[in-house]
Amino acid sequence: MRAVLQRVREASVTVDNTVTGRINQGLLILFCAEQGDTDVEAKYFAQKISKMRIFTDQNGRINLSVKEVGGKILVVSQFTLAANWKKGNRPGFSAAASPQEGERLYELLCQSLEKEGLTVEKGIFGAHMDVRLLNDGPITIIMDSKDSA
Question: Within 13 A of 106's CA, how many CA atoms are on the CB side?
Answer: 26
CB proximity list for 89: less than 8 A, separation 6 or greater: none
Helix, strand counts (H, E) of the chain: 2, 8
Q: What is the CA radius of gyration of the chain?
A: 15
Question: Within 13 A of 98's CA, how many CA atoms are on the CB side?
Answer: 2
Instruction: Give catalytic residue positions.
Output: 78-80
Helix (H) or strand (E) run with residue 45 in it = helix 39-51
Q: Which of 61, 57, 38 is nearest to 108 (CA)?
A: 38
Spell out the alpha helix ranges (H) of 88-142. 99-115
CA distance 80 to 23: 23
